[in-house]
Structure 1
Amino acid sequence: MNCTLQIFLDDRWVDCAEIEFNGGLCQWNHLVAYALEHPDAPLSLAEPVDMDIRAARTMPAFLYDLVPQGAGRRFLLGQLQLPDGPDADFPLICAGAFNPVGRIRVAEAVDYLEKHLARHPNARDLPGLTIDDVAGRSAEFAERMHLHGMLGTGTTGVQGAAPKYLLTHDRAGLLHGDAVLPDGDATQHLIVKLPRGNSAADHKVLRNEAAYMRVAAELGIRTHMDLPTLHGDVLLIPRFDRIVRGGKVVRLHQESVASILGLSGFDRRPSLFDVTAAIRRVVTDPAAETLEFIKRDVLNLAMRNTDNHARNTAVQRVDGQVQLTPLFDFAPMYLDPEGIARTLRWYRPNTQVELTNWADVLVALPVPDSERQMLARGLNQFAVQIERLPDVLEEQGVDHDIIKFLALSVDAQVRQLQAL
């Protein structure tokens, strides 16, 4: 099975690489014309643009950012009549990666979408939906889901366990499936996120995610200028991999830390020291991004966001600068009925013993002493913000029982940071 990758450059899609998956061997290479014309536009920040042919038993790591997950995966498995498992990942990309987050897509997946829409002529040129249509799961919304078969609304293009749709505002402020609205009509791109399940805890997690994001912004963490908003049991999340400028859509390079670490497959659990090192290799300002990353983990620990896997942190290139993306998927995940434990931890590189004190983490970081001192000062100053957390949580509308539950973890982080 073969596919052609395309990248969005200068307001158009450009063929950039070919991938062949056959007999358990995956080979891929950049197209010669692309390598010559676009040496500074890699598919992954960990993969230089060259003319080499790469071969491995798994797909290249960056492709796993395109693999449909959750509801979109289940839908496509049924459409393709495939059993679930790792062997399904490549066929799923070839059918579902027509509009993923970031600026890469699969040409064959675009063809798959066009064939699907051709089978449903009524799925084109549909009137837009209101936020109330989406939040109330109106008849119009249900019909749209049926006609698009979860494709035009981008369900296959966004990862995670919670049901999500990629929708886009048109010039009249109405919502359409992102894949079926022309760029020239788009004004804002959104992720529409529903609860992971039907339990009260699932609804509580989603309801508090918007408040958690407001808390992070208040404490100075990098967040998107437009924060998520809750509408009933639907969270509207403005996307930060798309920018609308002068009537055109700019698609930003974006990839997970799993990708820049070269991790193929899912449920890989690198040490946070390895994650930090990978981030530092690709970002423009390693010291600043290291401090930002550690601050986010302080908040994860203080506010018990336990779902910190390697695809919940990403980097992006904005106006030539590579940095961590704005914070996302930040919620009280300790409440999740599936009992989600903290996936990534600070394992000392030479002993693999977990470090739980920030002073020990800083000592073990392989950075110059001057930078280590800067990090210590920055985290010590951040203690003032963490000390404010109970009041900020209250002000931003976090549920009272959550605030009460977080008291011990907030206090533990304050004491550690003050000691630096």
Structure 2
Amino acid sequence: MGAKLECHLEIYADAGWRDCAIVTVDDPRAGGVRGRATFEYELDYVFSAGPAPAPVSLVLPVNTELRQTEHWPSFLYDLVPQGNGRKYLLGQLRLADDAAADFALICAGAFNPIGCIRVREAVAYFEQHAGRHAASNVEHGLTLAQILDRGEPFVERMLVHSMLAAGTTGIQGAAPKFLLTQDRAGLWHADGALPDAEAANHVIVKLPRGKAEADRKVLRNEAAYMRVARELGLRTAGEITLHGDMLFIPRFDRTVSGGSVLRHHQESAASIAGIVGFDMRPSQFDVLHALRKVVTDPQAETLEFLKRDVLNLAMRNTDNHARNTAVQVRDGVVRLTPLFDFAPMYLDPEGIARASRWYHPQGGNELQHWRNVLAALDVGDAERAALREGLAAFAEEVARLDAVMHAAGVEDDIVTYLRPSIAGQLRQLQELGVAHG
């Protein structure tokens, strides 16, 4: 059995980072699913003056309880580096790529993740890393042309000041991504290299998952897919722009206001649902049930969740795992984040299957008709009727999909391929209206 290890969590509050909680794992090599852990808030944080302190997870209220579990707290998996950032750190730490590396990766890579939580040990690791390189490598911003050309200044910045400074280790998913911050003069910096007072804009830059034409096609159409979602009334944020094979995605976990940067709490549905690790395939019922416990308006967020899944099915976004849905806290209101990672993933060369499905809460069989999904939801009759009415009304939007996709710039062959799945979803939604009209 390995020695116990701790990581110390910090939260962004009152325009600064504060110590807030400690996670202790009994045997890091066992991984999160099999590894016992202890979670506790710092007493100074629990009893701090001023407004009630915010939790590190919406399912872990701030109190003095010492929580001992048979597995790691699920929110930790929102901080585990994945994708290219994981590969980079594994090389730096000289570790094999398995669950035994996850805690070390958190303690080295969770210095600048999405949301408002970070790990103190990871901040120290980053500062040590950055200190080995000349300041001149990081203090000057890049133009958009330098980024798109992937010339020496960009490559040097990303490799020397590193994927660490670009925040890549804090963004999950298989596609190569990095974080950039734009200063007031319009130049771009690796996120974390620019002081908050000089920041004007924050983006995630996504590249194709692989080198195949299908990977580039998925990326080209993601911006168009998001325009479709916005046109159909789903919750979106900002305008995604495609520059060559780089997709610039506005960040919605941060708001620039009055010369400061507000960092909003953001947490995956997987964390809310208590999912530890990356291999579980939960039922959509379980995910939705967990989300309804924390959101401010369960009925509104349930309808939003259902509409998003209608579009996932209609437009064949098969990569619908529980970390591609998240909640955030804005001005005290807890709701689903704007839509993200919405693209024609059926094209992916790896053959990504739909991850989260509607398995009946009792029988376990997959439900494939919205009539049956609504009947199985754990809601009151009045809310069930309202949800049915909302989905039936959404049929009018789904009926416009062909024209909306063309106007949004979805490529013609994708539109043609999607017509049968769109027709199937439209028929189901229209039947909801007919049956209860």
Q: Work out whether the TM-score is over 0.5.
A: yes
TM-aligned CA deviation for residue 378 of structure 1: 0.7
1:91 aligned partner, one-letter code: A
Question: Where does residue 217 of structure 1 map in the other structure?
Answer: 230
Match of 2:82 among 69, 83, 104: 69
Measure how far apart 1:123 and its partner are.
5.5
Give the % identical residues.
59
1:292 is matched with which residue? 304
* 2:90 and 2:96 in contact (8 A); partners too: yes
Tell me the TM-score normalized by structure 1: 0.98
Partner amino acid, structure 2, of 1:18: I
Q: Which residue type is aligned with residue 55 of structure 1?
A: Q
1:127-149 per-residue CA deviation (whole Å, 9 max, x = no partner) reads 11122222221221111012112
CA distance change for structure 1 residues 54 and 88 in 2, over 3 Å: closer, same or farther? same
Listed as ranges, the matches of 1:9-158 within 5 Å are 9-23=13-27, 24-37=35-48, 39-122=52-135, 125-158=138-171
Q: Cα gap change, 1:142/1:124 in structure 2, threshold over 3 Å: closer, same or farther?
A: closer
- Report the equivalent of 2:192: 179
Partner of 1:374: 386
What SS class does the counterpart of residue 309 from structure 2 fall into?
helix
Structure 2 residue identity aligned to 1:3: C
1:414 and 1:155 map into 2 onto residues whose CA distance is 39
TM-score of the two chains, using structure 2 as the length reference: 0.94
Alpha-carbon distance between aligned partners in 1 of 2:313 and 2:262, rounded to the nearest angstrom: 35
Distance 1:171 1:316 in 2: 27
Check conservation: 1:124, 1:180, Cα contact below 8 A: no
The separation in 1 between residues aligned to 2:208 and 2:161, in whole angstroms, is: 21
**Aligned partners of 1:67 and 1:97 also within 8 Å:** yes
1:206 aligns with 2:219: yes
Tell me the alpha carbon deviations over residues 151-180 of structure 1, each in whole angstroms, 9 at most, x when there is no partner: 111111111000000100001111101111
1:234 matched residue in structure 2: 246
Distance in 1 (alpha carbons) for counterparts of 2:345 and 2:379: 32
Measure the CA separation in 1 of the matches of 2:228 and 2:192.
32
Deviation at 1:317, TM superposition (A): 0.4
- Give, in whole Å, the separation in 2 of the partners of 1:365 and 1:265: 26
SS at match of 2:55: coil
- Unaligned runs of 5+ residues in structure 2 are 28-34, 433-437
**Does the CA-based 8 Å contact 1:123-1:144 persist in structure 2?**
no
Q: Letter of the aligned partner of 1:7 in structure 2? A: I
CA contact (8 A) 1:168 1:177 kept: yes
Deviations 1:285-326 (A, max 9, x none): 000000000000000000000000010000000111000000
**CA spacing shift, 1:6–1:273, aligned 2, 3 Å:** same
Superposition deviation, residue 2 in structure 1: 1.7
- Structure 1 runs of 4+ aligned residues shifted over 4 Å read none
Amino acid at match of 2:383: E
Compute the displacement of 1:211 (Å).
0.3
Shift of 1:20: 1.8
Give the CA deviation at 1:126.
2.5
- Aligned residue in 2 for 1:346: 358
CA distance in 1, matches of 2:147, 2:350: 26
Structure 2: how far apart are the matches of 1:175 and 1:149?
15
2:26 partner letter: N
What residue is the counterpart of 2:313 in the other structure? 301
Separation in 1, partners of 2:348, 2:275: 26
Please state how far the C-alpha of 1:125 moved relative to its aligned partner. Answer: 4.5
Alignment check: 8 A CA contact 1:243 1:249 kept: yes
For structure 1, the residue ranges without an aligned partner over 5 or more in a row are: none
Please give the secondary structure, in 2, of the residue aligned with 1:151.
Answer: helix
What is the CA deviation profile of residues 306-360 of structure 1, one whole-angstrom value per residue up to 9, with x for unaligned ones? 0000100000001110000000000000000000000000011010011000011
Give the number of equivalent residue pairs.
419
Report the equivalent of 1:326: 338
- 1:25 Cα deviation from its structure 2 partner: 3.2
Q: Deviations over 1:256-304 (max 9, x none)?
A: 0000011111121111011111111000000000000000000000000
Partner of 1:169: 182
**Residue 426 of structure 2 aligns with which residue?**
414
Secondary structure, aligned partner of 2:63: coil
Instruction: Quote the Cα distance in structure 1 between the aligned partners of 2:57 and 2:275.
Output: 12
- 1:398 partner amino acid: V
Shift in Å at residue 21 of structure 1? Answer: 2.1
Whichever residue aligns with residue 296 of structure 1, its letter is: R
The RMSD of aligned alpha carbons is 1.1
* Equivalent pair of 1:122/1:147 in contact (CA under 8 Å): no
The C-alpha deviation readout for 1:66-101, integer Å capped at 9, x for no partner, is: 110000000000101111111111110100000000
Distance 1:396 1:181 in 2: 34
Deviation string, structure 1 residues 355-406 (Cα, Å, up to 9, x no partner): 0000111111111111111111111110000000000000011010000000
Q: Distance in 1 between matches of 2:39 and 2:384?
A: 40
Distance in 1 (CA, whole Å) between partners of 2:52 and 2:136 is 39
Q: Does 1:249 align with 2:253?
A: no
